[in-house]
Amino acid sequence: MTQENAMTNPEDYMPLREVVFMTLRRQILRGELKPGERLMEISLANKLGVSRTPIREAIRMLEHEGLVVMVPRRGAHVAEITRQELNDVLEIRKTLEVLAIQRACANMTDRDIRQLREAEEAFAILVERKDADITALGEADEHFHDIIYQGTNNRRLIQILNNLREQMYRFRVEYLKDIDIRQMLVREHDAIVKALEIRDTEEAVRLVTMHIDNQYRAINKALDERDQEESAKNAK
């Protein structure tokens, strides 16, 4: 999203607010800033070596992204995300991913699809090597889906889907650590590419729907386990 801007813009000047925005965003998505954690302007400003102004503007952006919540006169904190909300997001994503794959199936060039195959293989290789870290895995997965999104030729759709996916990056750590799930992802990606290669829209739609449904189950299972650990810890 923003990388693209930097690419297309020959001069790679970036307002500090953008730098701050990306920094905070990354920290939230990686879980370095935890849900509920307070974002205090002065300490952030000191930590990042800038004044409060760009911090505040970055917070305004994160706020609209849904990653932070503002309480007037009481500052910003990292947005909690309830399971209900997570499932709401997944429901929307399912609908829009179906739309995306339909458009992609109609619009992607053969060259695009070859590129998608490459991305799929790169992801598969990372999964094979057990030593890959979760961030790298997440990025490879992200890249795969990005190519499909680009194939829709619908900028707004791309933007919305990216934003919805983003909400879930925060749970990557929770569910990408399961080896079985990783391998399932690889099989699903492979099947999706195959369907696109022969332009079988219906099959692609079916696979994508399944892909999201599986993700729904995987994430909820991971959260169940985490919650159980939590309550066990609190009980002791």
Choice from 14, 69, 134, 205 touching a copy of itself (CB under 8 A)? 14
Strands (E), the chain: 38-39, 68-71, 75-78
Q: Is 41 in the site for DNA (CB under 7 A)?
A: yes
| Span interacting with DNA, options 10-18, 114-122, 144-152, 160-168, rule CB under 7 A | 10-18
**HSE-CB of 201 using CA atoms within 13 angstroms:** 11
Biggest CA pair distance of the chain:
58
Task: Print the binding letters for residues 16-35 with DNA: x by CB under 7 A, - otherwise.
Answer: xx------------------
Subset of residues 45 to 64 that bind a copy of itself, contact rule: CB under 8 A: 53, 56-57, 60-61, 63-64
Sequence-distant (6+) residues with CB within 8 A of 90 are 168, 212, 215, 216, 219
Q: Is 129 in the site for DNA (CB under 7 A)?
A: no
Quick one: CA dihedral 180, 182, 187, 188, positive or negative? positive
Q: Which does 30 bind (CB under 5 to 8 A by kind): a copy of itself, DNA, none?
A: none
Q: Which does 95 bind (CB under 5 to 8 A by kind): DNA, a copy of itself, none?
A: a copy of itself
Beta-strand pair 75-78/38-39: antiparallel
Total residues contacting a copy of itself (rule CB under 8 A)?
A: 30
| Span interacting with a copy of itself, options 132-140, 156-164, 192-200, 216-224, rule CB under 8 A | 156-164
Residue 177 corresponds to which tokens in the numbers above?
């650590």
Choice from 157, 184, 205, 223 touching a copy of itself (CB under 8 A)? 157
- On the 0-12 / 13-18 / 19+ scale of CB atoms within 10 A, 78 is buried
Residue with tokens 């800038």: 50
Binding residues for DNA (CB under 7 A): 6, 13, 15-17, 38-43, 50-54, 56, 70, 72-76
